[in-house]
Chain A
């Protein structure tokens, strides 16, 4: 699963655009993750410009 470090996230939506499963959504000033849709591919974790996302086993 993906954890959002909200104190790091600048809610830019970069991760949302690359999610192949449509599991992320930028709702105004926070990121919403649909854990049922997320397949733990880790792409969002890699592209985040600030390192706000973490893959958690």
Chain B
């Protein structure tokens, strides 16, 4: 059995798979390890992704796409619904994916490009020599062995431990974890091409309730709340049960999904000597929406590109890998994360009166070029009160600068 690779990828989600695929395509030997017995299961995701963002990397297969989304509804605490129909303006919205199929296909792509894959194989510690990562000790089916690698990619998700063992603190501040519960439900009366977002401090404090359709009468129905808002009797699952009892009393739950999404700022540095950190492990999920698929694909591929150059030059020091960190930070992704973090900080402090006022005012606008930034700018211009709040937080000029 091969014990030495150019690249070891810890974690078989989208970020790890895309990194492994990129390195393998460039001719490097790659081992991808996944601690779970199956790629893509259990799902820990609401499965939504933007169409244009996804098309940057992949042409979606029919089997990945559970539903195409043409419209988003934002429902205010007072029940008022704001409809966003970007299709009418000629732009596209998104997909709700089947992550079990999607994740598996991405790993297949990596394998097809030449990467070795091992499941039910957990990295139990890094191999550290002179303060540098030299691979990892793996446990596969109860037996432990060393895999040495020139470069190790930490793609171990929200519960990331690998980077921590290498000396990078990945702890998410508990007020900045979005704690979530979701049911996959059938037999519910929904619009199969619209996503619904319900906001309000009574139904989802510091977060939102989502309905993401996955077909006719089928949807992911979930709730995420701020970690500091969670308490006995008012945990995500309690909020979810109350929402479902009220809105879908006759629906049937065929899957329970729990999860945490980091809504903190990204790690202050995502490289170390011979180590690159990608996807949720790097804390690059969107602090406002919680979405992480695009960021995973982007950082996975970028790590593959930058890491390959470093391997080619025979220098995988943190200095040589730094272009990975600086490139994603200055990219569309990095800027969106920074902006959405600041907006999130204001959003989570809003009372229901603020939320109602915002949603009512935005619904009266004609948003032709729909995106999060335009939406935010419109909100600010229509809501002097919110503009003042943002101004006090030093954010108005920050947002105007985009």
Co-complex (A, B): yes
Complexed CA–CA distance, A14 and B259 (Å): 6
Complexed CA–CA distance, A11 and B259 (Å): 8
Residue contact A18 to B181, C-beta cutoff 8 Å: no
Which residues of chain B come closer than 8 Å to A49, judged between CB atoms?
179-181, 230, 235-237, 258-260
* Segment at the A interface, from B108-116, B152-160, B325-333, B360-368: B152-160
From residue A4, how far is it (CB to closest CB) to chain B in Å? Answer: 13
The answer to whether the Cβ of B122 comes within 8 Å of any Cβ in the partner chain is: yes
The answer to whether the Cβ of A19 comes within 8 Å of any Cβ in the partner chain is: yes
A13 and B36 in contact, given A47-B227, A49-B260, A51-B235 (Cβ under 8 angstroms) = no
Residue contact B161 to A27, C-beta cutoff 8 Å: no
Q: Which residues of B contact A (CB under 8 A)?
A: 35-37, 42, 44, 120, 122, 157-161, 164, 170-174, 177, 179-181, 227-228, 230-232, 235-237, 256-260, 262
Which residues of chain B come closer than 8 Å to A16, judged between CB atoms?
158-159, 161
Complexed CA–CA distance, A16 and B172 (Å): 9
Total chain A interface residues with beta-carbon distance under 8 A: 24
Residue contact B174 to A18, C-beta cutoff 8 Å: yes
From residue B166, how far is it (CB to closest CB) to chain A in Å? Answer: 12
Closest 3 CB pairs of A and B: A14-B260, A13-B159, A16-B159
Residue contact B171 to A20, C-beta cutoff 8 Å: yes
From residue A24, how far is it (CB to closest CB) to chain B in Å? Answer: 8
A-B Cβ contacts below 8 A, count: 93
Majority SS at the chain A contact face: loop
Q: Which residues of A contact B (CB under 8 A)?
A: 10-20, 22, 25-29, 43, 46-51
A17 and B164 in contact, given A46-B174, A50-B258, A51-B235 (Cβ under 8 angstroms) = no
Most buried by A among B120, B160, B235: B235
Residue contacts A-B, CB under 8 angstroms, 16 given: A13-B159, A14-B158, A14-B260, A17-B159, A17-B160, A18-B173, A18-B177, A25-B159, A27-B35, A27-B122, A43-B174, A46-B174, A49-B258, A49-B259, A49-B260, A50-B181
Residue contact A47 to B174, C-beta cutoff 8 Å: yes
Closest to A12 in B: B258
Complexed CA–CA distance, A43 and B259 (Å): 15
Complexed CA–CA distance, A13 and B157 (Å): 9
A28 and B172 in contact, given A18-B227, A49-B259 (Cβ under 8 angstroms) = no
Residue contact B37 to A28, C-beta cutoff 8 Å: yes
From residue A35, how far is it (CB to closest CB) to chain B in Å? Answer: 17
Closest to A31 in B: B159
Residue contact A22 to B161, C-beta cutoff 8 Å: yes
